Structure 1
Amino acid sequence: MDDPDAELATVFERFHENPYASVVASQVLRLSEHLPIRAALDVESLAYSTLLGAREFRRWLTARGPRPLPPRSPQEPVRIERNDTELRITLNRPERRNAYGAQVRDALVAALEFALMDPSIEKVLLNGAGPSFSAGGDLDEFGTTPDLAIAHLIRTRAGAARLMARLAERMEVHVHGNCVGAGIEVPAFAHLIRADPSSVFRLPEIGMGLIPGAGGTVSIPRRIGRWRAYHLFVSGTAINADRALDWGLIDRISAA
């Protein structure tokens, strides 16, 4: 760390801005540390659903203001290309910085399910089109699910995290540019992440009154440890590719 005192001050400040989310993040990390991935993802989602009903998230929604739902993708939101035993999956909404909204999520899940069903696919390569790998959850969709129980089921049964974990040994992810929220939480399940030197990683959810909800409370600490994960969660600080490599969040730095 360049200035540990400054980073610690940032953590304290962010903690006091969103104490409920900060405490819940700590509890989830402790509870799920030694759980199987499937169970740990359930713990994350139940906690996330609880925070969706809390005042910190409502405050963030009010400050954000009303937003229209994202338009339908003008192209296939995820491209799939098979080359012999390799399946290449490309997030393909560069006009929205490949945000992990419903359309991208559903198309990514379908691609991962295809890879799971075909044992002849030996390698699955995930990357993103445009200047960023993924800007994380689509903020225009936040707060739009009317039923918190349905939101929990969508995250745990229709999200990409479980499938990524099951495919981990066959998964390689190439990231670049902004990798925010789900844009690193989902890749972190893969056994190999290659990052362009331009890559920047950030987990902003606690600043919204939430916790990482795309599997990040499971995938991130299993790469970098519980304490560093909590630091990234609460501080919301961005780290570059060099620090991410030093911590183990990524495995290699190589130009795209």
Structure 2
Amino acid sequence: MYGKEPAVLLEKDGPIAVITLNRPENLNAFNVEIRDGLYEAILAFRDDPSVNGLVICGAGRGFCAGADLTEFGTEPSVIRKRRIRLQRDLWDEIRRFPKPLAAALHGFAVGSGLEMAMLCDFRMAAPGTILSLPEAKLGMIPAAGGTQSLPRLVHQGLALEFALFGNRITAEEGLERGMISMIVPSEKLLETTIDYMKALVGRNPNSAKWIKSLVAHGLEMPLSQGLAREKVLVARSWATRR
């Protein structure tokens, strides 16, 4: 439709890129348009040398209400979704994003919205933000990495309980459990998240990327391999200081 705003908005604040999910009339429910826009934005900011960090946020009354079941809820669309995912694996691109990445959550982060946030390095949240993985209540399984990212943030038992019951908790409870990094007043949420990311990468953007890489990939390899990789990157970092 002529004049319609895109479902994903992009901007920069200095070295920090900001991606805004922009379907406020649908509570930013995750659809094909958002998926494709996010995928293209993630790749563009990944390769943009002027971007040192990234923030994902949502327009309107919440961060993201999860998958739009009018598009992803029927069997043909699920099959199509799986086929497209083989071509464009958005979740893996977010997980492997080489620069520090934060989600600014408000209102609610539900289903794939929360799963996307858990793939980020940091999750800032406004007071009272609702967090939930309701898929089990619908006879489904979280499909955006939630079963793997959640137990890397909280105790395995808590992760299982949260995913199996599909209960809702607040951001304050999420902070206690380790799912949320920081509670921020609603009116300062995006500003604070951007400032936090600027401080994070401000001293040395390359060091920030290397440290993120070491921490993230170290969880997936034996300690000996992680230490060996650390030595390589330490040597590389010293070489760039000369």
Of 114, 120, 127, 1:184 maps to: 114
Amino acid at match of 1:241: A
Kept in 1: contact 2:72–2:78 (CA 8 A) = no
1:147–1:79 CA distance, 2 compared to 1 (3 A): closer
C-alpha RMSD of the superposition: 2.2
Kept in 2: contact 1:131–1:177 (CA 8 A) = yes
TM, length-normalised to structure 2: 0.71
Q: Measure the CA separation in 2 of the matches of 1:92 and 1:183.
A: 13
**What do residues 48-76 of structure 1 show as CA deviations (whole Å, max 9, x unaligned)?**
xxxxxxxxxxxxxxxxxxxxxxx999321
Deviation at 1:169, TM superposition (A): 4.6
Of 43, 51, 57, 1:113 maps to: 43
Deviation at 1:118, TM superposition (A): 1.7
**What do residues 141-187 of structure 1 show as CA deviations (whole Å, max 9, x unaligned)?**
23345276543233354242111111265101100011110111011
Larger radius of gyration: 2
Q: Measure the CA separation in 2 of the matches of 1:253 and 1:155.
A: 33
1:104–1:217 CA distance, 2 compared to 1 (3 A): same
Deviation at 1:243, TM superposition (A): 1.0
Query: What is aligned with 2:100?
Result: 170
Amino acid at match of 1:206: A
Kept in 2: contact 1:105–1:159 (CA 8 A) = no
Kept in 1: contact 2:71–2:77 (CA 8 A) = no
1:116–1:197 CA distance, 2 compared to 1 (3 A): same
1:97–1:72 CA distance, 2 compared to 1 (3 A): farther
Of 136, 143, 159, 1:206 maps to: 136
Q: Measure the CA separation in 2 of the matches of 1:147 and 1:172.
A: 30
Query: What is aligned with 2:70?
Result: 140
Gaps of 5+ in 1: 1-70
Give the number of aligned pairs: 186
Kept in 2: contact 1:160–1:186 (CA 8 A) = no
Identity of aligned residues (%): 34
Q: Measure the CA separation in 2 of the matches of 1:225 and 1:106.
A: 33
**What do residues 193-246 of structure 1 show as CA deviations (whole Å, max 9, x unaligned)?**
100002010111011111101121122121113221211111111011111001
Of 236, 241, 247, 2:166 maps to: 236
Query: What is aligned with 1:123?
Result: 53
TM, length-normalised to structure 1: 0.67
Q: Measure the CA separation in 1 of the matches of 2:104 and 2:118.
A: 11
1:112–1:75 CA distance, 2 compared to 1 (3 A): same
Deviation at 1:110, TM superposition (A): 1.0
